[in-house]
Amino acid sequence: MVQQRSIVIVGGGTAGWLTAAYLARALGSRATITLLESPGIGIIGVGEGAFPTIRSTLRFIGIDEARFVREAGATFKQGVRFDDWRREAVGDRRHRYLHPFDAPYQADDADLVAHWLAKDPATREPFAEAMTIQNRVADAVRAPKQPSEGDYDGPLAYAYHFDAHRLAALLRARAVELGVRHLQGELTGVETGEQGIACVHTDAHGALTADLYVDCSGFRAELLGRALRVGPRSAKAHLFTDRALACKIAYAGPDAPIESVTTATAHEAGWIWDIGLQNARGLGCVYSSAHLSDARAAEILCGYVGHDRFEARIIPFEPGWRETQWVGNCVAVGLAGGFLEPLESTGIVLIEAAAAMIADFLPMAGPVDASAGRFNQLMNARYAAITNFLKLHYCLSQRQTAFWRDNADAASIPDALAALLAEWRHRPPSRFDFQGGVESFAAFNYQYVLYGMGFETDLGPSTPPRGEQAHAERLFERIRSFGRQAVAELPEHRALIREIGQRM
């Protein structure tokens, strides 16, 4: 007989349904999975951008790309464009850089990063433009792939934007197809015991018991937070934003171009996300309540949109995470485990990582929490690393309002990041700076942000020999010319979305 584990998941947002589908696919007949969600409480309904890892997650779960585009209202995302982060806009003079998902072009016989660094900062091309064709493709509002390319494949790395409610509904449909039992109702109480959770009481389905309880109840953290009293560790000393004012803005017409990058525009005390969905743009003004009033945030958002004829809702959050996310027979995934802030879309990345680790670590025999310590250590390292990466976006800014000055204050920079920044003064970020398998962002992600923000790495007076430099120049020219060719050949973004969405 197959040894089975019973799993109860509380919460039916992206975290709950993604975890349910992932575990159902990974564990098959070795697990029975029940998910309880409260339609009355609902889901947070934001989180419209993902990271490229989502492609392998969706493929694993068994959702094909056409279904994803159609049912989650997905569009392609090729990275994040940062407007006005380095300094305030002065008239038409704005600072802009792209953090593309595609890695810099790598040549065996030339270190292009070093060659770019050796060029005159006043005249060289922006880093992302010099190192990848994706900058040009995104600027031209082109898609990252041809219609003939296979599901989740393409020459350029990409992720998606999507409607958060439709994504949860799609993941629910797939999880149910994979055999997950769906219960609608509210958790009304939790009994704790030696193992952690003894049972959860519900309004419509009596008491539920399981070998493993997964807390996906969002910021309420019903199991890990409220019942087991595991408190969060605040990241507020480093990351200051704690509120978002979110809205949807209709396109001018059904054929309006759809951007294939998230635009992140800095403002006096935070930034605004602007995401091209299929039928509307999703916008959110992210800010620090210690530096900006809600009324001023609304003014800033209206100024960005160009009018005030829209409804917006305020979403408060506390940047931080629970250092112990797996206690006994209870593990938290998603907002119940932690949340840092919307920048760089790291919420779903962390859900994907947690679901995959639970699938690997859940033993079919013996104590259910045998690998809890390892899970906690790995999730902690991920949250800490993401905190560093997010802080990097803020701490190099020369903007002059209190929010940005506080962000540049050395006391607010995590020690690990400060140490790396000191090293990067004389060498670029290296793959050995980061622990593969533990971190979501690689050296090249840091390079795009670091050099996009104008950071200088001084390689010393020994500029590369002429011959090598000439070879590097030919490679840079090749990137430019591939970029022009890609813009000419790749389909327009909306056209590809339409085409893929019509496939059955």
Query: Rounded to whole angstroms, what are the CA distances from 158 to 213, 214, 481?
Result: 33, 30, 21
Angle between helix 14-27 and 164-177 (nearest 10):
30
Listed residue (145, 196, 115) closest to 459, CA to CA: 115
Q: Does 338 bind ligand FDA (CB under 6 A)?
A: no
Which of 98, 208 has the CB closer to ligand FDA?
208
The one-character DSSP state at 110 is B
Candidates 5, 8, 9, 16; binder of ligand FDA (CB under 6 A) is 16
Task: Provide the minimum distance between the beta carbon of 51 and ligand FDA in the complex, in angstroms, as a whole number.
Answer: 7
Q: Does 328 bind ligand FDA (CB under 6 A)?
A: no
Listed residue (349, 433, 410, 423) closest to 383, CA to CA: 349
Which of 133, 354 has the CB closer to ligand FDA?
354
Sign of CA dihedral 92, 444, 382, 158: positive
Candidates 222, 242, 352, 369; binder of ligand FDA (CB under 6 A) is 222
The number of angstroms, rounded, from the C-alpha of 178 to the middle of its chain's C-alpha atoms is: 26
Which of 315, 475 has the CB closer to ligand FDA?
315
> Which residues inside 345-374 make contact with ligand FDA, applying CB under 6 A?
345, 347-348, 351
Task: Provide the minimum distance between the beta carbon of 143 and ligand FDA in the complex, in angstroms, as a whole number.
Answer: 20
Classify residue 499 by burial, with Cβ atoms within 10 Å: 0-12, 13-18, 19+.
middle
> Which residues inside 28-67 make contact with ligand FDA, applying CB under 6 A?
36-38, 41-44, 46-50
Among 60-68, 328-336, 464-472, 482-490, which window interacts with ligand FDA (CB under 6 A)?
328-336
Q: Does 15 bind ligand FDA (CB under 6 A)?
A: yes
Which of 131, 384 has the CB closer to ligand FDA?
384
Q: Do residues 184 and 37 lie in contact, with contact meaning Cβ atoms separated by under 8 Å?
A: yes
Sign of CA dihedral 167, 138, 286, 339: positive
Which of 264, 421 has the CB closer to ligand FDA?
264
Q: Does 317 bind ligand FDA (CB under 6 A)?
A: yes
Q: Do residues 337 and 224 lie in contact, with contact meaning Cβ atoms separated by under 8 Å?
A: yes
The one-character DSSP state at 109 is T
Listed residue (152, 190, 168, 175) closest to 39, CA to CA: 168
For the chain, helix, strand, coil in percent to 5 are 40, 20, 40
Q: Does 390 bind ligand FDA (CB under 6 A)?
A: no
Q: Does 319 bind ligand FDA (CB under 6 A)?
A: no
The one-character DSSP state at 431 is G
Task: Provide the minimum distance between the beta carbon of 191 and ligand FDA in the complex, in angstroms, as a whole number.
Answer: 15
Query: Rounded to whole angstroms, what are the CA distances from 250 to 231, 259, 276?
Result: 40, 14, 10
- SS3 sequence, 264-326? EEEECCEEEEEEECCCEEEEEEEECCCCCCHHHHHHHHHHHHCCCCCCCEEEECCCEECCCCE
Task: Provide the minimum distance between the beta carbon of 446 and ligand FDA in the complex, in angstroms, as a whole number.
Answer: 19
Candidates 5, 9, 11, 472; binder of ligand FDA (CB under 6 A) is 11
Q: Do residues 377 and 434 lie in contact, with contact meaning Cβ atoms separated by under 8 Å?
A: no
Which of 12, 104 has the CB closer to ligand FDA?
12
Task: Provide the minimum distance between the beta carbon of 287 and ligand FDA in the complex, in angstroms, as a whole number.
Answer: 11
Which of 49, 429 has the CB closer to ligand FDA?
49
> Which residues inside 145-164 make contact with ligand FDA, applying CB under 6 A?
164
3-state SS, residue 86:
coil
58: enclosing H helix or E strand: helix 53-61
Candidates 244, 292, 300, 385; binder of ligand FDA (CB under 6 A) is 244
Q: Does 20 bind ligand FDA (CB under 6 A)?
A: no
Mention every residue, 6+ apart, whose C-beta is less than 8 A from residue 482.
133
Task: Provide the minimum distance between the beta carbon of 493 and ligand FDA in the complex, in angstroms, as a whole number.
Answer: 18
For the chain, the maximum distance between any two Cα atoms, rounded to a whole number of angstroms, is 77
> Which residues inside 282-311 make contact with ligand FDA, applying CB under 6 A?
284
**One symbol per residue from 190 to 219: x for binding ligand FDA (CB under 6 A), - otherwise; what is it?**
--------------------------xxx-
Which of 336, 372 has the CB closer to ligand FDA?
336
Q: Does 450 bind ligand FDA (CB under 6 A)?
A: no
Which of 81, 136 has the CB closer to ligand FDA?
81
Q: How many residues bind ligand FDA (CB under 6 A)?
A: 40
Given the rule CB under 6 A, which residues bind ligand FDA?
10-16, 36-38, 41-44, 46-50, 164, 186-187, 216-218, 220, 222, 244, 284, 315, 317, 334-336, 339, 342, 345, 347-348, 351
